[in-house]
Amino acid sequence: MSSFLIAAPEAFVAASADLTNIASSIRAASVVASPSTTSVMVAAEDEVSAAVAALFGAHGQQFETLIKQAGLFHDQFVQSLASGGGMYAAEEAANAAATAAVNPGASLVGAVNTLNNTINGAGQVYITSAFGQAVDQVINAPTVFLFGRTLIGNGVNGFTGPNQSLLGGSGVFGNLGDGGFLIGNGGTGAAGVAGVNHGAGGVGGSAGLFGTGGTGGTGAAGGGAGGAGGTGGLLLGNGGTGGAGGAAVTAGTAAGAGGAGGAAWLFGHGGAGGAGGNASLGLGGAGGAGGHGGLFGAGGAGGAGGNGLGTGGAGGNGGNAGILSVTNGSAGGSGGSGDLYGGAGGAGGNAGLLGTGGIGGYGGTGTTANGIGGAGGAGGAGGSVFGDGGNGGHGGFASGTLGGVGGAGGNAGLFGGGGSGGIGGTGYLGNGAPGGAGGPARRHAGVGGGGGPGGPGGRRPG
């Protein structure tokens, strides 16, 4: 049985180096002080002065002995600390190798995230530094004048102005809300305004070559849709998260849908879909779809549906992984709860070249005695070459008589098994709903997925 450690080996190395420096300073001070503390001169030729000098000299010699003993202990402690750091580093490397062997997709996701965080982090340090800001004012002026977009820098949050540059009036080069052509994150989309464009939130800014897409703007109250997340960098960067939908404020109206997650291009993951808005007097908004992953990236998770008085919003579908990706498909969003009908769960995203399809989102709860649970979302398809289909989402619980039907399992890849169907939801006052159908396997290899079990029966009145 293996255990996974959480440690920072580099911290052990730094601590041992610091302690070594401290020990060197103490030893140097002790050497300097030793002659004057171990051989104290007699102040006078009387017996009292001689006794005082002998007393202080003895204390000095005892102190020097303690310093030597402390030095030995210190050396042993530093050696143990450095050795422990090496052991942790070795164990961490072994765990990483084990993870890569068992789940290469998870290893790739981690590698892409690490690379993205490293490059983007270094860029942000420069962009936000006083030096970077001074330099960028000079080098960005020509590109802003010609194209209406910076060369290096983050996009302006909430930017809504037109591109009035010499060559960028058509908008083909983007605008100041986008990250710099070279590096920079997209700005957050503008929040929706009631009565303007139906209250929809603005789209998040796109990144340039390197950077993360901006988050979509939040939809205005009254059912404004959330803005879509911006696209990630062309070479490296994740898509932005979709904006949340605005709440419904009038009886019988629908809340805003969540914005779709931004897509990635080459190395990067799709952004998560935004959550649908809630409706205390109407219909919950649908969750936004997850953005599709880059060529080697994972898709974003679907957004959750909003809760509603009548019907809960449907969960957003998970984004598909890139066609050469070895990551699993992303999960579909859960459906929102509703007094009458729970929202359906979103479908799981498809895997890429290798990997398991994403799990379908769970159906929402039907919250009243007449409520019906939402259906679970279908599982995503497995990798085109090798991979199992994703499991279907569970059907939603119902406070009434009928739970939601479980979602169907996803199709297998060329080699792999079909996903299992989702479990049917419980009807508290009646019977459980049917489970979802298992996903089929390809003819070459693999087995079809099992059908999901029906939901457990509830408590019958009387």
Task: Grade residue 6 by pLDDT with cuts at 50, 70 and 90.
Answer: very low
| Phi and psi based region of residue 195 (left: phi greater than 0; alpha: psi -120 to 50; beta: remaining) | left
Q: What is the mean pLDDT of residues 184-195?
A: 96
Identify the residue with better confidence: 288 or 84: 288
Map residue 366 onto helix, strand or coil. Answer: strand
- Residues ≥6 apart with Cβ < 8 Å to 257: 219, 225, 226, 245, 276, 277, 285, 286, 287, 288, 313
Q: Which of 40-49, 132-141, 238-247, 278-287 has the lowest mean pLDDT?
A: 40-49
In a domain, 307, yes or no: no
Residue 63 belongs to a domain with what CATH number?
Answer: 1.10.287.850
Report the pLDDT value the prediction gives residue 202, as an integer from 0 to 100: 97
> Taking 90 as the threshold, does the pLDDT of residue 84 lie above it?
no
Task: Grade residue 117 by pLDDT with cuts at 50, 70 and 90.
Answer: confident
In a domain, 327, yes or no: no
Report d(CA 160, CA 152) in Å as an integer: 20
Report the pLDDT value the prediction gives residue 2, as an integer from 0 to 100: 40
- Residues ≥6 apart with Cβ < 8 Å to 128: none
Task: Grade residue 12 by pLDDT with cuts at 50, 70 and 90.
Answer: very low
Report the pLDDT value the prediction gives residue 85, as an integer from 0 to 100: 53
Report the pLDDT value the prediction gives residue 432, as an integer from 0 to 100: 65
- Residues ≥6 apart with Cβ < 8 Å to 218: 191, 192, 201, 224, 226, 227, 243, 244, 246
Identify the residue with better confidence: 416 or 342: 342
Question: Which of 52-61, 127-136, 306-315 has the highest mean predicted lDDT (pLDDT)?
Answer: 306-315
Task: Grade residue 426 by pLDDT with cuts at 50, 70 and 90.
Answer: confident
In a domain, 294, yes or no: no
In a domain, 119, yes or no: no
Task: Grade residue 247 by pLDDT with cuts at 50, 70 and 90.
Answer: very high
Q: Rounded mean pLDDT of the chain?
A: 82
Is the separation of the CB atoms in 165 and 146 below 8 Å? yes
> DSSP assignment of 153-203, as one string?
SPPPTT------SSS-TTSTT--TTSPPSSB-PPPPPPPPBTTBGGGPPPP
Q: Which of 98-107, 156-165, 398-407 has the lowest mean pLDDT?
A: 98-107
In a domain, 340, yes or no: no
Identify the residue with better confidence: 131 or 110: 131
Report the pLDDT value the prediction gives residue 372, as an integer from 0 to 100: 93
Q: What is the pTM of this model?
A: 0.74
Report the pLDDT value the prediction gives residue 189, as an integer from 0 to 100: 98
Report the pLDDT value the prediction gives residue 170, as an integer from 0 to 100: 80
The whole domain housing 56 covers 9-99
Map residue 283 onto helix, strand or coil. Answer: strand
Identify the residue with better confidence: 45 or 274: 274
24-41 in b/e form (b: 16+ CB < 10 A) is eeeeeebeeeeeebbebe
Q: What is the mean pLDDT of residues 281-307?
A: 96
> Taking 90 as the threshold, does the pLDDT of residue 147 lie above it?
yes
> Taking 50 as the threshold, does the pLDDT of residue 462 lie above it?
no
Q: What is the mean pLDDT of residues 214-242?
A: 97
> Taking 80 as the threshold, does the pLDDT of residue 261 lie above it?
yes
Q: What is the mean pLDDT of residues 288-307?
A: 97
Q: What is the mean pLDDT of residues 184-208?
A: 96
Task: Grade residue 430 by pLDDT with cuts at 50, 70 and 90.
Answer: confident
Identify the residue with better confidence: 353 or 93: 353
In a domain, 397, yes or no: no
> Taking 80 as the threshold, does the pLDDT of residue 221 lie above it?
yes
Question: Which of 24-33, 112-121, 187-196 has the highest mean predicted lDDT (pLDDT)?
Answer: 187-196
Identify the residue with better confidence: 325 or 34: 325
Burial class (CB in 10 A: 0-12, 13-18, 19+), 46: exposed
Identify the residue with better confidence: 124 or 72: 124
In a domain, 26, yes or no: yes
> Taking 90 as the threshold, does the pLDDT of residue 429 lie above it?
no
Number of domains in the chain: 1
| pLDDT > 70 fraction of the chain, expressed in percent and rounded | 71
- Residues ≥6 apart with Cβ < 8 Å to 336: 276, 278, 284, 285, 287, 304, 305, 306, 307, 308, 312, 313, 314, 315, 342, 343, 364
pLDDT tens across 24-52, in order? 655 565 555 556 555 556 555 666 566 65
Side-chain-side CA neighbours of residue 139 (13 Å):
13
Report the pLDDT value the prediction gives residue 401, as an integer from 0 to 100: 81
203-228 in b/e form (b: 16+ CB < 10 A) is bbbbbbbbbbbbbbbbbbbbbbbbbb
Identify the residue with better confidence: 161 or 152: 152
Task: Grade residue 345 by pLDDT with cuts at 50, 70 and 90.
Answer: very high
Q: What is the mean pLDDT of residues 86-100?
A: 51
Task: Grade residue 162 by pLDDT with cuts at 50, 70 and 90.
Answer: confident
Map residue 289 onto helix, strand or coil. Answer: coil
Report the pLDDT value the prediction gives residue 43, as an integer from 0 to 100: 56
Report the pLDDT value the prediction gives residue 33, as an integer from 0 to 100: 57
In a domain, 283, yes or no: no
